[in-house]
Amino acid sequence: MNPVAKTTRRVLTRRGVVWLGQTCNLRCRFCYFQTRIEAKDHPEHPFMSLEKATSIVDTLRNHYGNSAIDIQGGEPTIYPGIEKLCAHCAEIGLLPTLITNAVALNKREACQGLKDAGVRDLLVSVHGLGKNYDDVVGVPGAHKRQMAALDHCVAVGMPVRFNCVLTNSSLPHLSAVAELAKSVGARVVNFIAFNPFEDQQKGERSREDVAAYSEVAPPLVAALDILNAAGVEANVRYFPLCQVPEAYRRNLYNFQQLPYDLHEWDYASWSWTDMKPQRMRDGGLSPLISLRQANFRSPMFRADPDYLTRGDISGEDEYRHSALIRAREHCGYKYAPACDACGAKGICDGFHGDYAAFFGFGEARPIAADSPVDDPRHYIGSQEKIVEPEDAGWAL
């Protein structure tokens, strides 16, 4: 595998994302696209043509200047033409990652084919282990196939990173997932709070799957200890900053911190690919939109008639504004009454939108600070993050 460097320098990500269609070979209980995966007649269900996907990735490279891309399905490894799409991305300088459950890569030649097509790495969804994993993804034997795929990745030299969603079912496995990451040489592990995003905003979430923050924190911290000690980059997405001891806040990424993670998505291009026409098989593409224009669609910034032309708003400000829109308007995050006394409120998203209905706001623990923290990089600035060799020229 290529050597990677590490840095505490924080720069804005240049990674885009494309959704090929919500067609999948698993049925994860916590999937953000659960309804669209199940409904074959949903306009976002079928895979789009290779031609349309190619137009989208060309736009990400040529208009938005992205240099990497996360390719998602549904499940991208079962997309007909995935190798052609990846080869095209690699050729135009948009280094491809597949966000995948990897169960279809239980044959070594499938893994080798992606490697030969120029896939830079796989972001493998490891939401638990053994029968527990099979139960949560709804397919018997899925864990065994995923483990075979990871073996093939090691054998063919395909770098991997892990995603793990923090549900009740995965919590007992977090340390084992961390150990697995060590054993297969995963470069990064992302723990992702179970969010009320997309289809999960439609009443699908229940106490059966959603864990309280105070239930998540102990096994999460234990897993972070394993990864931090092993030098594996570990990130926790969408978790209130006060819910872990201060030493672990460098690992926490709320919406304001995400643009400083090189493996996360560029809010500018994401604002465009997130539009329905770019997520459906049928129809053409939307007109291009800048991040400032996307922000101006929100009531939060539309109230300022000069927003589009103001010279005192920097590029980083635009990303921060987008973060506020995503947390407050798109995902309905809320602050507890106690958050008003918190020194980190300015860089924290607060609690998930439906969280108080499950558990109340009693877990909020305002962070003491001499003066309010206002830099999103305040905690993450001390985290060592990896930089792939291809990004060294601008990210180190």
Q: What residues make contact with ligand SF4 under the rule CB under 6 A? A: 240-242, 335-336, 338-339, 342, 344-345, 348, 350-351, 364-367
* Residue 304: partners with Cβ closer than 8 Å, 6 or more residues away: 310
Comparing CB distances to ligand SF4, the nearer of 83 and 354 is 354
**Cβ 63 to ligand SF4 shortest distance, Å:** 35
Beta carbons of 90 and 96 less than 8 angstroms apart? yes
Comparing CB distances to ligand SF4, the nearer of 127 and 345 is 345
**Cβ 391 to ligand SF4 shortest distance, Å:** 31
* Residue 21: partners with Cβ closer than 8 Å, 6 or more residues away: 44, 45, 46, 47, 48, 73, 74, 79, 279, 280, 281
**Cβ 358 to ligand SF4 shortest distance, Å:** 15
**Cβ 345 to ligand SF4 shortest distance, Å:** 4
**Cβ 13 to ligand SF4 shortest distance, Å:** 23
Beta carbons of 262 and 13 less than 8 angstroms apart? yes
Comparing CB distances to ligand SF4, the nearer of 111 and 367 is 367
Comparing CB distances to ligand SF4, the nearer of 277 and 366 is 366
**Cβ 347 to ligand SF4 shortest distance, Å:** 9
CA distance 371 to 356: 28
Classify strands 68-72 and 95-100 as parallel, antiparallel or unpaired: parallel
Comparing CB distances to ligand SF4, the nearer of 75 and 363 is 363
Q: How far apart are the first and last CA of the chain?
A: 19
Beta carbons of 162 and 182 less than 8 angstroms apart? no
246 by Cβ neighbours in 10 Å (0-12 / 13-18 / 19+) ranks as: exposed
Helices (H), 124-165: 130-137, 142-156
**Cβ 10 to ligand SF4 shortest distance, Å:** 20
Comparing CB distances to ligand SF4, the nearer of 335 and 358 is 335
Comparing CB distances to ligand SF4, the nearer of 150 and 241 is 241
For 376, the token pair is: 């999103």
Classify strands 160-166 and 15-19 as parallel, antiparallel or unpaired: unpaired
